[in-house]
Amino acid sequence: EVQLVESGGNLVQPGGSLRLSCVVSGFNFNNYVMNWVRQAPGKGLEWVSAISGSGGSIYYADSVRGRFTISRDNSKNTLYLQMNSLRADDTAVYYCAKGGIAVAPRGFDPWGQGTLVTVSS
């Protein structure tokens, strides 16, 4: 069974940093693109970032480029999102989601349960 489990969400002050993790199991992690998608309270989904299976190709939404860094450790089956210079509008549930073998976003399946990041003083 494919499983994705996020962790690392917390309350952080504006300007602070946080690192999210997503541990996966049930598939060959290093073959697949992985994504982070977030959802602000009561709002819709927003794609945040993606990383190819090898880690050699990385993509960001304009809203986080320069502040967030996606990475992966294929030896640990773990995806990361380092978030710096956090702002109030970064407050959201952050989901990791499995992509396909190629970078093109042809459907994210499955998703983790999400981890809540709250940016507030």
Partner 1 sequence: QSALTQPASVSGSPGQSITISCTKTSSDVTGYNYVSWYQQHPGKAPKLIIYDVSNRPSGVSNRFSGSKSGNTASLTISGLQADDEADYYCSSDTGSSTLCVFGIGTKVTVL
Interface contacts to partner 1, rule CB under 8 A: 35, 37, 44-47, 50, 59-62, 95, 97, 103-114
Give the nearer residue to partner 1 in terms of CB position, either 68 or 95: 95
Distance from the first to the final alpha carbon of the chain: 40
CB of 66 to partner 1, least distance (A): 13
CB of 102 to partner 1, least distance (A): 10
* Pairing of β 11-12 and β 115-119: parallel
Give the nearer residue to partner 1 in terms of CB position, either 76 or 106: 106
* Cβ neighbour number for residue 19 with a 10 Å cutoff: 13
Give the nearer residue to partner 1 in terms of CB position, either 56 or 121: 56
Cα–Cα–Cα angle for 98, 62, 66, rounded to 5 degrees: 95
CB of 70 to partner 1, least distance (A): 12
State CA 3 to chain mean position distance.
Answer: 15
